[in-house]
């Protein structure tokens, strides 16, 4: 029982990291069909947001609230990655819908740019830049309708961008003068330290569980529930699903597909940011942090069935549990007296590297029989 619980927990813990990382991709790749290789770098931005938030909460005024910085950073990371995602969609991806190869190359280029950006720009000014992007993109939409429809709207838009740039520069220099760690560019990996209430273990049913892992599981669950509710219950969720199934028909019926694309991509990117927060709790934060997850993300989405959230959930927990079963050699402790050749084989695969090989092999075999994944898209899909 103890063993089972331990194994199940480990599997769920590994799976939830995969799931939270793949969730955004499941939306962007699954619903929109965009192969976004910069997904990992959007995660990285989320992880850096956590780091910056942590340091800002060390400023004397905010110090009393230090313990809650991780909660705040989840929302901030969602916004930061979401905004960068929206910008990416507006400037690059929009022009490349329907040409997967070009999208792949372009987003790969973006991922390199983002990596180099955090290496060579001081984080304080990076924060300033993101703040001006947020203001510049969202301020015009808060204007009253009268201004929006006026002929001079472009001047309003232009002046709001100037305001945004000024605010960005100002916040950048304020942050860089108050937090010295953010004032210099550095390629060095940085470290997010979980607040004290999140460190150590809790005991449930006689087994000790690390708190950070539980936190990641909670973040993942909340994201999955929120995104499911959004897609199935809200008006925009219905529009997104409509556009996914038949873009032209939706367009004819008056759904603004352009807006739908922006929202879908923004949410997918925002979720990548949330994943970045989760990942920053496990390891260090550096320019390459997202790149380590991107292959795993695509693997989960393909295995689960493109365009199906339930499939993504099951696939990531499946992979998580298999990783633990194979990698930690669990079968040997469940069945200690198995025949020698079998136990030798299991021992051979019971290392982290070999477990990965085994799991990839199993996935390849599985996809031979079910090429569309666990839950293939059913119903009438109009392909272009």
Partner 1 sequence: MRISRRILAGLATASLAVTATSCGGGGTSGSFDDTVTVGILHSLSGTMAISESTLVDTEKMAIEEINAAGGVTVGGKSYKIEYIVEDGASDWPTFAEKSKKLIDQDGVPVVFGGWTSASRKAMLPVYESKDAFLYYPIQYEAQECSNNIFYTGATPNQQSEPATDFMYKRSPAAGGDFFLVGSDYVFPRTSNTITKAQVKQLGGKVVGEDYLPLGNTEVAPIISKIKKALPEGGIIINTLNGDQNVAFFKQIQDAGITPSSGYYVMNYSIAEEEISTIGPEFLEGHYGAWNYMMSIDTPASKKFAKSFKERWGADRVVADPQESAYNMVYLWKQAVEDAGTFDDNAVREALVGQKFDAPQGPVEVMPNHHLSQTVRIGEINAEGGFTILEETGVVLPQAWNQKHPSSKGFACDWTDPSKGEKYKL
Q: Is the dihedral of CA 378, 303, 18, 262 positive or negative?
A: negative
Binding residues with partner 1: total (CB under 8 A): 40
Q: How far is the CB of 323 from partner 1 (least distance, A)?
A: 6
> Is 281 near partner 1 (CB under 8 A)?
yes
> Is 300 near partner 1 (CB under 8 A)?
no
> Is 232 near partner 1 (CB under 8 A)?
no
> Is 46 near partner 1 (CB under 8 A)?
no
CA distances from 326 to 209, 296, 311, 362 (A): 20, 17, 22, 12
> Is 284 near partner 1 (CB under 8 A)?
yes
- Of these, 353, 371, 379, 383, which contacts partner 1 (CB under 8 A)? 353
What is the rounded CA–CA span in Å between residue 179 and residue 127? 12
> Is 292 near partner 1 (CB under 8 A)?
yes
- Of these, 17, 19, 31, 260, which contacts partner 1 (CB under 8 A)? 17
CA distances from 237 to 230, 232, 234, 241, 365 (A): 5, 6, 5, 6, 35
> Is 193 near partner 1 (CB under 8 A)?
yes
Nearer to partner 1, 191 or 258 (CB): 191
- Residue pair 24/39 in contact (Cβ under 8 Å)? The answer is yes
- Residue pair 309/81 in contact (Cβ under 8 Å)? The answer is no
What is the rounded CA–CA span in Å between residue 281 and residue 290? 14
Give the tokens for residue 166.
């000024």
Residues 311-330 close enough to bind partner 1 by CB under 8 A: 323-324, 327-329
Nearer to partner 1, 260 or 281 (CB): 281
> Is 195 near partner 1 (CB under 8 A)?
no
- Of these, 58, 157, 211, 241, which contacts partner 1 (CB under 8 A)? 211
Nearest Cα to 128, choosing from 178, 92, 61?
Answer: 178
> Is 344 near partner 1 (CB under 8 A)?
no
Give the tokens for residue 156.
């309003």
> Is 67 near partner 1 (CB under 8 A)?
no
What is the rounded CA–CA span in Å between residue 73 and residue 93? 27
SS (H, E, C) 348-376: HHCCHHHHHHHHHHHHHHHHHHCCCCCCC
> Is 167 near partner 1 (CB under 8 A)?
no
> Is 359 near partner 1 (CB under 8 A)?
no
Residues that bind partner 1 in the complex, under the rule CB under 8 A = 6-7, 10, 13-14, 17, 187-191, 193, 199-201, 208, 210-213, 281-284, 286, 288, 291-292, 323-324, 327-329, 333, 350-353, 355-356
């Amino acid at each position: 029982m103890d063993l089972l619980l331990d194994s199940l927990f480990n599997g769920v813990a590994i799976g939830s990291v995969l799931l939270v990382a793949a969730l955004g991709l499941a939306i962007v790749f699954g619903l929109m069909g965009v192969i976004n290789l910069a997904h990992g770098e959007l995660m990285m931005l989320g992880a850096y947001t956590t780091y910056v938030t942590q340091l800002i909460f060390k400023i004397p005024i905010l110090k009393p609230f230090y313990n809650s910085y991780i909660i705040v950073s989840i929302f901030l990371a969602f916004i930061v990655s979401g905004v960068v995602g929206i910008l990416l969609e507006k400037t690059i991806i929009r022009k490349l819908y329907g040409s997967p190869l070009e999208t792949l190359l372009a987003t790969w280029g973006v991922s390199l740019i983002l990596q180099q950006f955090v290496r060579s720009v001081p984080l304080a000014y990076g924060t300033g830049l993101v703040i001006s992007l947020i203001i510049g993109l969202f301020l015009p939409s808060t204007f009253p309708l009268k201004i929006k429809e006026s002929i001079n709207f472009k001047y309003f838009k232009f002046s709001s961008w100037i305001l945004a740039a000024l605010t960005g520069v100002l916040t950048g220099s304020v942050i860089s003068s108050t937090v010295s760690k953010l004032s210099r560019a550095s390629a060095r990996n940085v470290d997010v330290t979980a607040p004290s209430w999140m460190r150590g273990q809790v005991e449930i049913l006689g087994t000790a569980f690390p708190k950070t892992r539980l936190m990641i599981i909670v973040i993942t669950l909340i994201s999955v529930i929120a995104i499911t509710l959004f897609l199935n219950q809200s008006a925009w969720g219905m529009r997104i699903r409509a556009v996914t199934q038949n873009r032209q028909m939706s367009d004819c019926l008056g759904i603004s597909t352009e807006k739908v694309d922006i929202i879908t991509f923004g949410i997918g990117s925002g979720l990548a940011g949330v994943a970045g927060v989760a990942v920053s709790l496990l390891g260090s934060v550096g320019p390459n942090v997202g790149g380590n997850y991107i292959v795993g993300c695509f693997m989960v989405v393909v295995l689960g069935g493109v365009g199906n959230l339930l499939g993504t959930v099951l696939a990531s927990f499946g992979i998580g549990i298999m990783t633990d079963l194979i990698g930690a050699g669990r079968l040997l402790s469940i069945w200690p007296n198995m025949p020698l050749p079998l136990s030798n084989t299991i021992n051979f695969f019971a290392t982290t590297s070999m477990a990965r090989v085994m799991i990839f092999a199993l996935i390849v075999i599985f996809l031979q029989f079910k090429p569309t994944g666990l839950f293939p898209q059913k119903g009438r899909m109009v392909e272009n």
